[in-house]
Structure 1
Amino acid sequence: MRTDQILTRLERVFARLDREPERPAHLQTPQMSRHRVVLLGSTLAFYLAIVVAVLTTSWLVRLDWQIMFFRPYEQWPQLHAFLDYLVVLGQRGPTAVMVAAWLGWRSWRQHTLRPLITLGVALLLLNVTVGSVKLGLGRLGPHYATEIGSAELFAGGDIFPSGHTANAVVTWGILAYLASTVVTRRVLSVVSAVVSLSVGATTVYLGTHWVSDVLLGWSAGLLILLALPWFEPLIARTEAYVFDLRELLRRRAETGRMPVPVVSALTPLLSAGGKWQLKPVAETVGEPVAAPAAAASAGAAAGHSPAHRSAAHPANRPHLIRSERTPVTPVGSRRPAHPAHPERAGTRGTAARPVAGG
């Protein structure tokens, strides 16, 4: 006869969440290889070349103006409705939510926080690097240009580099970076490249960005993806810290500390020698103290009777006479709480007997 416990769906979910974190053996952390270093250096050189070309108002700025006067949204107006939706794939809010949902599911299946932490680090790097360059150069967009042929720099704008393009490269490229197999990584790399190129071209079509903005956005996003292996030790330490914190909170919730009962200005505590001592409440609140009943039973087991318990006088407190002292009776004492003692016999050693009526 089988006695296996049948778990509900909710119980199975919680049981899976409570499993210890484990990482599949086939998952390998990307390393900063020589090939990746060469790509990083080449992309950085391309990035700096675009910035210099815009700062010097070179041929790249003239190309920006020529395409702006061409007005692609007027040449192919039938594409406008579709591209209005396609450009959403480069907006930070919707894309971050979609990718975070997918990576959260992967983190739950693989029992590791690395996918979510990697996404957070990549988005943080994106905001810092791209945002600082945007605010530092202050370039205006095509719809707000004031002088024909100028680079429109340091005018209070925030479009250089293109945030939509850089965000599309990082957000969709992180899926390829975290892929578990070589084939999946290649397929996702092609998909993310197509999406990021389409988003960049769409911003030029809509007239919201210059061509140089899109080129710099592509290189800015690629720089972040190529530099992510340098941050893998930080990601691993963050994951270990989160799991250690979770274990600490779990142990604290399981053990728990019993609050100290506050009876009066002085709280009686049983010392290691089995004697009652008085401590101020301010010193005992928050300390792990055994229950008075358990302490009394421990003292009885050690051979100490209530007659041998002497209260120690606390330091820095005036000595009070018996009539001025507050009666202190520990919770859980073995002394019965009778309103009055029965009449005792004439001798001290004879037990008290009830008075029988005639």
Structure 2
Amino acid sequence: MTMVTDDVQTRVSTRREWPWWAPSVSAGLLSAALLGLMTWLVVERGWFIAWDWDFHVYVDARQPTGVTKDLLDALASLGGQRLYTLPIIAAVGLYVAYRQRSIRVPIAIASGLATVLVIGYWIKFGLGRTPPASGQDVLYSVGQAFPSGHTANATLTWFLLVTVLFGAQGLWPDPVRFRRYLWVAGALVVVTGFLMTALDYHWVSDIPGGMALGVLALMISVTVLRAPAPRWPRRPE
């Protein structure tokens, strides 16, 4: 007589564990590819810049004046001008470094800022695109319109600020507040980009270029934040 025994088998999970760097590096490569594509489209003078001139003509005839203009300029500057964003992100970074007893956050911030500076000005000086205020859209001139540095700074600053405060490696890790303030950061970026075009400082196509550059810099900073601490070999006793 043969007895059949039903054995309970333990299922081994086959779910693949991705490397720690995979999400941020993948997003960084994607943003770099988009930035490269947009740069090429600006050079090709095709559909990507189709709205630039018409929008410039529309807002140029409707520029605010007086106190309204001053307030909008101040808001746009606070949102993305390095003169204001750099002290903010630097002060927060140093505070987090002090509380965490680690220099990782300042290194991450410096990495992102260096990315915006080096890649941003490499493209700016390479294209030499004139701004709307010049009254002409010309490449290889004395302009530095594309990509928008204000928008890149805004994207890096406000999203990185949320990350170092409420992200997984932040000072006060909190998924709920992290998601909530990501929306606030996104709104600040959109408002900054819109004001730079509405006030006729940038072409419409300069804004997504600045966003792509900012995301690229942000992903480099996030990669530095997520990197595991180096393990130094112990000295033999």
Separation in structure 2 between the aligned mates of residue 201 and residue 220 of structure 1, nearest angstrom: 17
Separation in structure 2 between the aligned mates of residue 121 and residue 95 of structure 1, nearest angstrom: 15
Separation in structure 2 between the aligned mates of residue 152 and residue 190 of structure 1, nearest angstrom: 35
The one of the two structures with greater contact order (alpha-carbon pairs below 8 A, sep at least 6) is: 2
Q: Which moved further from structure 2: 197-206 or 99-108?
A: 99-108
SS in 2 for 1:71: helix
Residue 86 (structure 1) aligned with residue 75 (structure 2): yes
State the partner residue of 1:320.
none
CA contact (8 A) 1:73 1:207 kept: no
Deviations, residues 199-240 of structure 1 (Å, cap 9, x unaligned): 111000110100111110011101111233444588967xx9
Deviations, residues 106-159 of structure 1 (Å, cap 9, x unaligned): 22222222222221121111111111111111110001133xxxx511012112
Write the letter of the residue equivalent to 2:56.
M
SS in 2 for 1:211: coil
Separation in structure 2 between the aligned mates of residue 236 and residue 137 of structure 1, nearest angstrom: 40
Q: Which moved further from structure 2: 41-50 or 189-198?
A: 41-50
Deviation at 1:162, TM superposition (A): 0.5
State the partner residue of 2:120.
130
Separation in structure 1 between the aligned mates of residue 37 and residue 22 of structure 2, nearest angstrom: 24
Write the letter of the residue equivalent to 1:126.
V
CA contact (8 A) 1:39 1:226 kept: yes
Residue 172 (structure 1) aligned with residue 173 (structure 2): no
Deviation at 1:103, TM superposition (A): 2.3
Deviation at 1:75, TM superposition (A): 6.4
Q: Show structure 1 runs of 5+ residues with no match.
A: 1-29, 241-358
State the partner residue of 1:156.
142
State the partner residue of 2:186.
193
Separation in structure 2 between the aligned mates of residue 43 and residue 233 of structure 1, nearest angstrom: 19
Say if 1:110 and 1:232 are closer, same or farther in 2 by CA, change over 3 A: closer
Residue 43 (structure 1) aligned with residue 31 (structure 2): yes
Higher helix share: 2
Say if 1:102 and 1:158 are closer, same or farther in 2 by CA, change over 3 A: same
Residue 33 (structure 1) aligned with residue 22 (structure 2): yes
Residue 67 (structure 1) aligned with residue 55 (structure 2): yes
CA contact (8 A) 1:73 1:80 kept: no
Query: 4+ residue stretches of structure 1 with deviation over 6 A?
Result: none
CA contact (8 A) 2:151 2:207 kept: yes
SS in 2 for 1:87: helix
Separation in structure 2 between the aligned mates of residue 82 and residue 225 of structure 1, nearest angstrom: 28
Write the letter of the residue equivalent to 2:202.
H
Separation in structure 2 between the aligned mates of residue 110 and residue 200 of structure 1, nearest angstrom: 33
Q: CA RMSD in A?
A: 2.7
Percent sequence identity is 28
Write the letter of the residue equivalent to 2:124.
K
Say if 1:170 and 1:235 are closer, same or farther in 2 by CA, change over 3 A: farther
Separation in structure 1 between the aligned mates of residue 198 and residue 192 of structure 2, nearest angstrom: 10
Q: How many residues matched?
A: 204
Deviation at 1:181, TM superposition (A): 2.5
SS in 2 for 1:46: helix
Separation in structure 1 between the aligned mates of residue 41 and residue 52 of structure 2, nearest angstrom: 12
